[in-house]
Structure 1
Amino acid sequence: MIFLIESFMYKVSNTFLFPVLLLIVGLFFYSLFEIGVFFMQAIKRKISYKNYIKYIKSEIRSNLSGYPIINYEIRRGFHGIEDLEVFAFKKLQVSSLVTKISPMLGLVATMIPMGPALKALSNGNVQGISENLIIAFAAVIFALITSSLTYWVTTIRKGWYAQEIKDLLLLRGAKDETSK
């Protein structure tokens, strides 16, 4: 009975290898795309920085390229810090999720080929061992690079968005104080 369960689990786990590898490659390309979007946003922020300062000083009220929290507040109006934080969270949600899921998928893609590699070892099949280890190591490397890239992008964006929220709160607080 135990042999049947082990055999079943072995066969089922092997069927997950291709979808997991496909996901890892897809997430890797997503992380490269996010790097491109991030650098474009950084350039837009640099170009719009003078207008951002003018906005914070209440001198202008127009969309600012590269400043999504400010633009959200311009479109919807100020409805409190919670509203801004939820919007920022949603903007960061996918890249944050990729950061956390990629290493898990890398571990799965590392462990699945280890079964066939160990089986090949017991049969003295060196080529089978090396083929499976190549898959295992390549998968974990792709997954960790993916996670590293999205972590870096997400962390910097968190800082940007936190600064925008802080500046908006100071701006709105200052306006509230002058209206009293």
Structure 2
Amino acid sequence: MNALETSLYELTRIFLVPVLLLILAALVYAFFALGSFVMEGWQRRRGRYQSALAARQAAHGGTSDDLELWIMQRLEWLRVTSRSAPMLGLVATMIPMGPALLALTESDAQGIGNNLVVAFSAVILALVASSISFFVLTVRRRWLLQELRAIERAGEMR
């Protein structure tokens, strides 16, 4: 490899640890959001749910547009996680593929295996985080829009 190719290779290796940490953070956040979602669903089923949207409307007033903006802000991190985790998984898959291919040319089975374990583990965890986040996002968005519609129908909007 020439100097440019070596520099590019080294630069990509720098990103592996931060990308893996971001994938772990996305996974932790997804499970936290799932736990919160399960609790909210349980409260809704039992009739004990206190609507944060209605409480916000009562405390701050505002228009339907204001509440829609609040809904978007509340769901923002779920949306970001569900969309960015697969990309991070792809990056974390591709970075170890270079060393795995180099190990293949040297008939280094252990080097191939070590790099492929990192690559496939990272993409699996990223897809799990994305799937959980997308599920929670989809259902929670429906719940919040139903609440917004109920507030609008009740005539509480100015």
- The TM-score by the shorter chain falls in which range? over 0.9
Corresponding position of 1:143: 126
Once the two structures are superposed, residues 38-57 of structure 1 have per-residue CA deviations (whole angstroms, 9 ceiling, x without a partner) of: 111112223336xxxxxxxx
SS in structure 1 at match of 2:107? coil
Mapped pair 1:165 → 2:154:
no
CA distance in 1 between partners of 2:14 and 2:83 (Å): 23
Partner amino acid, structure 2, of 1:82: D
CA distance in 1 between partners of 2:151 and 2:5 (Å): 58
TM superposition shift of 1:168: 1.0
CA distance in 2 between partners of 1:3 and 1:103 (Å): 32
CA distance in 2 between partners of 1:71 and 1:5 (Å): 58
Mapped pair 1:34 → 2:30:
no
Partner amino acid, structure 1, of 2:13: N
Mapped pair 1:152 → 2:135:
yes
Corresponding position of 1:6: 5
Choose which of 62, 69, 72 in structure 1 pairs with 2:53.
69
TM superposition shift of 1:23: 1.2
Partner amino acid, structure 2, of 1:167: A
CA distance in 2 between partners of 1:162 and 1:152 (Å): 16
Once the two structures are superposed, residues 60-102 of structure 1 have per-residue CA deviations (whole angstroms, 9 ceiling, x without a partner) of: xxxx62x22111111112x221101000000100111111110
Corresponding position of 2:17: 18
Aligned residue-pair number: 158
More RCO (CA 8 Å, sep 6+): 2
TM superposition shift of 1:137: 0.4
Partner amino acid, structure 2, of 1:84: L
Larger Rg belongs to: 1
CA distance in 1 between partners of 2:93 and 2:52 (Å): 38
Summarize the alignment of residues 16-165 of structure 1 with structure 2, pairs less than 5 Å apart: 16-48=15-47, 65=50, 67-77=51-61, 79-165=62-148
Instruction: Provide the TM-score with structure 2 as the length reference.
Output: 0.94
- Which segments of 5 or more consecutive residues in structure 1 lack a partner in the other structure? 50-63
Identical-pair percentage = 37
